[in-house]
Amino acid sequence: MVSSSEPTTQREPVAIVGMGCRWPGNVRSAPDLWELLKNKRDGYQEFDEPRFSSKGFYHPNSDHRGAMATRGGFLVNEDPRLFDHAFFGMTALEVETMDPSQRKLLEVTYEAFENSGETWESVSGSRTGVFVGNFSLDHLIMQTRDWDYPRSYATTGAGTCIMANRISYMFNLQGPSLAIDTACSSSMYAIHLAVNAIRNGDCDSAIVAGSNWIVDPSLQIALDKLGALSPTSRCHTFDASADGYARGEGFAALYLKRCALAVADGSPIRSLIRGVAVNANGRTGGITRPSAAGQEAVIRKAYSDADLPFEDTTYFECHGTGTPVGDPIEVRAVGNVFASTRSGSLDDRLFIGSIKPNLGHTEGASAIAAIMKVVLSLESGAIPPNVGVETLNPYIDFEKAKVEVVRDFMLWPKDRLRRASINSFGFGGANGHCIIDHVNNVLPHYKKPGIIKPPSPLISNGHTTNEATTGHGSGNPASAQVPVHAPVVDKPRMTKGFKVATRSLVLLPFSAHNEASLNLNIDALFNVIGRKSLADIAYTLGVKRSRLSQRTFRIVDKDSKSIQRPGLTERVFAATTQSSNVGFVFTGQGAQFHGMGSELFEYAVFRGVIEYLDYVLQALPTPPPWNIADVLRGNCDEEFVQTPEVSQPVCTAI
């Protein structure tokens, strides 16, 4: 990765180049999330093992001591405690008291890097910052119940700062590293700090992550007593039945880069952050009461800093928790900013929605959930529906605000710019706002990279993060993008006027942490290999994947994309993860012999180079009467290669 400590302008876009996630509804990748959104699904579950059981804490009266009037929430399907510590080089003793949020953040960070085409080696030692938003302290609360017998790593396992520091340590990232808690706007504040750190030259790139884990009933009970939670355990955003929010779990990471650096590195730019701003409400009618004036101010600040007009924004992703007070105030703030730029006709309204009815309110991670939704919407050219709206909330003046709730899956209007706003605020008055553009708004000639992501080599107690891809909205799991300048391996290539023939077989390298994961990766990829460019697949596997200890390869027919299985390709090779230093020593003139390069012509790279060098020789004013290829193949007298005028250029060519 190219590195530069020079500060940039406050208006330079910051590129989102990679994403990794675990969301409710069995969402383990960005395409999983898109499928959930466009199909109007959600991730609701009743509280039960491996968390606390609702049977022991539910009571219909929220004033009942030690109880809550909610039965469930939006929960990730896997047990967050499952973790392959050996993959990250950690001991079992250290992981024993390690917050599962730390565990999952390591996984999604690795996947965000992989999704962007970075390897473990390419990010190690880089000026990459880590900014983590977190609100839930369930693991810390559980640890503090018994300090009489603390385990060795209890402090680093429970400390909130370690959520960011652990990522920096594990991947050897040397930019700023901090955890942020502004309640439900935590990850939006993390975005703000990361973008400004990149623009100020504090780092070249950043991981922005968020987490929310619900395993202890304490906070659930406390929020219920506060009156924040819906008795139905749902977020009825924009609906007349709005009565509070439902909590949701989630772990996600975004990988950000300076725009110029992303272009220079050939990174897949998924979207661009144009502006971001944060503020606080100050003194309102209550510390937990949102403020229309505060939200209006932060929206205007974001647009002012980015020097963007309000009328070009097509979609607004609201915080939209579904509380009786919060939704009307937020829509009023949106209207105060955007309504004056709209004609009021249906085709000129600002479209609005919220991801919370699908995933619940993931609190400290909620802004990242909203950003992921917007990125996928911009990429797909469609806006997913805000689910659960049966009767519009009569306390929200949608007409005055000139907004329209997206209630059905819709294509992005052809005559409208692919630009979206994202709102976020915490229950203590900390507001944040972000503006995101489709990449072609800023880089009109940017060509979307090809997409291929073989499954991640993580295994957690037998549970794998096997993600094979075919792209967004296809119904298949995760995606990673590779540059469009991938070496062509399945098409003829021109080299200085010479057409290089290609063989019908292509070799694909694979690596993983252990053999079981290696086999799962291969199987997952070959389920979808026919839908992707074989050139992109070969390039991604060969150049854009970390080289892990268990390695093998498969040979694919480039025409039928069918796998060839000779005996050798079934073998798995154990390799050191340390880089090897290999030197090739040539003796120069004196070691040449007749036909010394004949077998090397089996390799297309070798053939191409020799043909090019022959082209160079023939371009001389007085070209030689022979060519390198014939000499190396042995198509000459045996003694011919021993003459200096032949041996020296031929040895140099090799």
Asked if residues 217 and 57 have their Cβ atoms less than 8 Å apart, the reply is yes
Burial class (CB in 10 A: 0-12, 13-18, 19+), 436: buried
Rounded Cα gap, residues 469 and 477, in angstroms: 5
| Residue, of 409 and 495, whose pLDDT is higher | 409
- Domains in the chain (CATH in brackets) are 14-442 (3.40.47.10), 450-574 (3.30.70), 598-653 (no CATH)
Query: Which pLDDT band, with edges at 50, 70 and 90, does 533 fall under?
Result: confident
Tell me which amino acid residue 277 is. A
pLDDT tens-digit series, residues 377-392: 999 999 999 999 999 9
Give 343-361 as a DSSP string: --SGGGSEEEE-SHHHH-B
Which range among 108-112, 204-208, 249-253, 521-525 shows the weakest confidence by mean pLDDT? 521-525
pLDDT tens-digit series, residues 302-324: 999 999 999 999 999 999 999 99
Q: Residue 505 has what pLDDT? A: 77
Place of tokens 């505060």: 294
Residue among 132, 123, 24, 37 nearest 80 (CA): 24
Contacts of 109 by beta carbon, 8 Å cutoff, 6+ apart: 20, 167, 171, 207, 209, 253
Residue 175 has pLDDT above 90, yes or no: yes
Residue 329 has pLDDT above 50, yes or no: yes
- The tokens describing 40, both together, are 């109007």
Q: Residue 143 has what pLDDT? A: 82
Residue 506 has pLDDT above 70, yes or no: yes
Asked if residues 78 and 136 have their Cβ atoms less than 8 Å apart, the reply is no
Q: For the residues 528-541, what does the mean pLDDT come to?
A: 86
Q: Name the β-bridge partners of 573.
A: 551
Q: For the residues 319-336, what does the mean pLDDT come to?
A: 97
Rounded Cα gap, residues 297 and 290, in angstroms: 13
User: Per DSSP, which regions of 124-220 are E strands?
Assistant: 128-134, 177-180, 205-212
629 three-class SS: helix
pLDDT tens-digit series, residues 594-618: 999 898 998 899 999 999 999 999 9
Distances, alpha carbon 231 to alpha carbons 66, 215, 396, 414, 494, in Å? 16, 19, 21, 41, 67
Residue 194 CB neighbour total at 10 angstroms: 28
Task: Return the C-alpha torsion angle 539, 541, 542, 543, nearest 10.
Answer: 70
Asked if residues 3 and 9 have their Cβ atoms less than 8 Å apart, the reply is no
Q: Residue 582 has what pLDDT? A: 81
Rank 300-314, 480-494, 626-640 by mean pLDDT and report only the highest.
Answer: 300-314
455 three-class SS: coil
Query: Which pLDDT band, with edges at 50, 70 and 90, does 578 fall under?
Result: low
pLDDT tens-digit series, residues 146-156: 777 788 888 88
Q: Residue 367 has what pLDDT? A: 98
| Residue, of 500 and 483, whose pLDDT is higher | 500
Residue 212 CB neighbour total at 10 angstroms: 30
Distances, alpha carbon 480 to alpha carbons 31, 411, 472, in Å? 10, 24, 10
551 three-class SS: strand
Which range among 123-137, 292-306, 487-501, 611-625 shows the weakest confidence by mean pLDDT? 487-501
Beta strand 271-280 pairing with 493-495 = unpaired
Asked if residues 116 and 30 have their Cβ atoms less than 8 Å apart, the reply is no
Query: Which pLDDT band, with edges at 50, 70 and 90, does 524 fall under?
Result: confident
Of all residues in the chain, the percent with pLDDT exceeding 70 is 87
Rounded Cα gap, residues 479 and 626, in angstroms: 50
Asked if residues 313 and 350 have their Cβ atoms less than 8 Å apart, the reply is yes
Residue among 613, 467, 532 nearest 21 (CA): 467
Average predicted confidence (pLDDT) for the chain:
87
Of all residues in the chain, the percent with pLDDT exceeding 90 is 66
CB half-sphere exposure, 552, CA atoms < 13 A: 22
Cα 467 to the chain's mean position, in Å? 13
Q: Residue 577 has what pLDDT? A: 60
Q: Residue 507 has what pLDDT? A: 85
Query: Which pLDDT band, with edges at 50, 70 and 90, does 71 fall under?
Result: very high
Burial class (CB in 10 A: 0-12, 13-18, 19+), 341: middle
Q: For the residues 187-193, what does the mean pLDDT come to?
A: 98
Q: Residue 471 has what pLDDT? A: 31
482: which DSSP letter? E
Asked if residues 361 and 369 have their Cβ atoms less than 8 Å apart, the reply is no
Rounded Cα gap, residues 207 and 205, in angstroms: 7
181 three-class SS: coil
Alpha helices, DSSP H only, in 391-460? 398-401, 439-442
Asked if residues 15 and 116 have their Cβ atoms less than 8 Å apart, the reply is no
98 three-class SS: coil
Asked if residues 372 and 30 have their Cβ atoms less than 8 Å apart, the reply is yes
Residue 469 has pLDDT above 80, yes or no: no
Residue 495 is inside which H or E element, if any?
Answer: strand 493-495
Q: For the residues 5-28, what does the mean pLDDT come to?
A: 88
Number of H helices, E strands in the chain: 21, 25
| Residue, of 560 and 91, whose pLDDT is higher | 91
424: which DSSP letter? E
Rounded Cα gap, residues 387 and 369, in angstroms: 16
Q: For the residues 567-572, what does the mean pLDDT come to?
A: 58
Q: Residue 430 has what pLDDT? A: 97
Q: Residue 453 has what pLDDT? A: 46
Q: Which long-range contacts (CB under 8 A, 24 or more apart) does 622-625 make?
A: none
